[in-house]
Amino acid sequence: MADNTETHQLPPLELEQHQVREALRCLLHTILFNRALGPVRPVEVEAELLDLSYVRVHDEEVVAAVELSMNELCGQLERSAGRGAEAQVRLAFYEKRQGSSTWFGGQANCFWEQWFINLAVMSHEAMLLRASTMPGTTLAEGGQPPVSSRVTEVLSCITRALSERREHCPPVVSSAAVSYPWEVSVTHPREGRGAFSLGGMKRMLMQTTPPRMLS
């Protein structure tokens, strides 16, 4: 990967396991929608679990690819249920270039931007204990720290980065494309406190076809 890849490390997001899937949908689709160029059809999604709404691209292939990445992560989290785990999801954008870095001089994926979503998955009891030790923390109904405020904080970091840094985005050269090629990779979760590590990185490469141009 090139050294000049624009990298965004998002702040750690503490969640309970049942909140992970919806939170990831919100964050991934927010980034993808803002990297979709052209006359795309937006879809507003009400995330009731998070008590917020977000906008995604109206495209079945994009939705399916996001769901696939979540299935990979959530499947691993289920194996460490109740013990706490840390995981990282990487969303990266690239362009294909002709070069000598691949066999037979074929095309290479040149990454120009990557986002790291850092998750700390905790039990409900651990979440309450952490909230009780943090001054100024407000608990939602039923004694649960509001997940909406935690996700909104990360969303704010995303929107700020999207608005501040644009010069690194390559031009879109195809009139049929409304977004750049992208891929998602998931780091296998680590159980909390260093008790056990699943270790390794399993890349889930999804060289998705960009969303179709809608007339």
Q: How far apart are CA 172 and CA 129, in angstroms?
A: 49
pLDDT at 94 > cutoff 60: yes
For residue 50, give the 3-state DSSP assignment.
coil
Give pLDDT, residue 127.
Answer: 74
Query: Whole-model pTM?
Result: 0.77
Longest dimension (CA), the chain: 61
Q: How far apart are CA 47 and CA 54, in angstroms?
A: 8
Q: Tens digit of pLDDT for each residue in 136-161? A: 555 554 444 588 999 999 999 999 99
Give pLDDT, residue 210.
Answer: 44
